[in-house]
A and B are shown apart, each in its own frame.
Chain A
């Protein structure tokens, strides 16, 4: 299958795999932990390497040429990210450490100033801790209420339950695009429409969708969007916060220091406007350079073919695992990303992961930073297989075979 847009090159699945150096280091590796972090694409690694070898300098500080070039590349990436997610201007894009920090910024630097006792914030039961605890903490601090959208039996968002949760004291809805545990795709357009009808802004946690399902923020009309470079073939330690034009002025500095100021007087400081007011201290410049290269790579992909490929793998995995006696697959959402969570009766997920590791299959076992959801499902822990563009049908079969072998050994 050709997974690149550029049909002149006509790259196939094996070509794509070749773009990820980890697989030449570990030829037998079956990497199925893509929801935790994807592998890194060669051009991203080269871009960061080149920066350190040949272009290293800090940004926005020096007038010398190297620094000016670094600043240009840095700001060019803002424009690239803006284009990538359909933002109207690079001024909507702030660089952060990742999804977690992006969400925390919205909680501390935006919502904290607005939230009053008796107000409420709405999240869903399927949130990652990163999109749950910041709101829980803030609500507790202020005396506001954290309201939780439930899910239906198959693991889909219970959209009908959202409207009654929204009222004139709701200050924000924060929801994930794709559940990192069940793989559920949430109907964010509907969520946004319902919230906006009540004048409530919406934050989308796009950690799991940033790479293959980037949304057009202008089209879906969200107010904040957060994602991480490392889950989208890019570097660790870099992420993005998108903020709608009208709300930019309501985002205040998150940490204080150099780089964000306009005028520092003895008694008071004037700050630059968003997004430059979030860059206190020297920013992660190679991270931004690497993110830029990762976005170039992703933009060249034939997204439709990639999504079909990844969803095909996860459907195959789901169906094959479900047929094994003693295996339970969590949830059966209408639409899923490349994530399958399961457990085996009487075999703890950690033991499963240890044995799969012996077959060079890397999966995640545990709570997956989604304790509220697991508690709701009354499941203590799961094994999670998550797929990306370089995974293959043979790898799914390898996983399924290894699970069957383990059950035989255990019983």
Chain B
């Protein structure tokens, strides 16, 4: 990737999200939380999820991480609000496959597509996927317990 390209993606998606992330606050009372932690780079976000039965009523996050992981988490939080849990699981799987295996993003979504472009950026895959992976595992585990 060229520097100008990197700057373009940061300008389009990342910097603004990094400065004004969606629902960036602690919600200790939330019905579910999980910790997205990458011990190598020091990224650590808590995801706070409020469930209404099986729907995610609201999603918040708080912690420390790079602009990319923060932007990525911010987009994730915004997108999953109002979704049923099983849709969130499918959504996370779809995005992770898009990033890891170059699968198409469905439905077409500019913010997700720009984010996924960063997959070509060396060494930053974990920053993009950290919260998605954590949330997916959390929900899969939760699903198993309620079966």
Contacts and interface: CB of A to CB of B under 8 A. Distances in A.
A355 interface: yes
B16 to A, nearest CB: 12
B42 A381 contact: yes
B41 A367 contact: yes
A367 B40 CA distance: 6
Given A354-B121, A358-B3, A381 B41 contact: yes
B122 A357 contact: yes
Interface in A64-97: none
Contacts of A365: 41
Nearest to A381: B42
B117 to A, nearest CB: 13
A367 B2 CA distance: 27
Given A366-B40, A366-B42, A348 B65 contact: yes
B124 interface: yes
A351 interface: yes
Interface residues of A, number: 20
Interface string A355-369: 101110000011100
Contact of B124 (A350, A358, A374): A350
Contact of A350 (B1, B44, B66): B66
Contacts of B70: 348
B44 A380 contact: yes
A381 B7 CA distance: 23
B107 interface: no
A380 B42 contact: yes
Contacts of B116: none
- Counting contact residues on chain B (CB < 8 A from A), the size range is 20 to 34
A91 B122 CA distance: 45
Contacts of A350: 41, 43, 66, 68-69, 124, 127
Contacts of A374: 42
A349 interface: yes
B67 interface: yes
Contacts of B127: 350
Interface string B53-70: 000000000001111111
A365 B65 CA distance: 12
Contact of A351 (B2, B40, B67): B67
B6 A348 contact: no
Interface string A102-124: 00000000000000000000000
A277 interface: no
B6 A367 contact: no
Interface of B: 1-3, 6-7, 10, 15, 39-44, 64-70, 121-124, 127
Given A349-B42, A350-B68, A380-B44, 17 more contacts: A348-B66, A348-B67, A349-B41, A350-B43, A350-B124, A351-B10, A351-B66, A351-B68, A354-B123, A355-B3, A357-B122, A358-B2, A358-B3, A366-B41, A366-B42, A380-B64, A381-B43
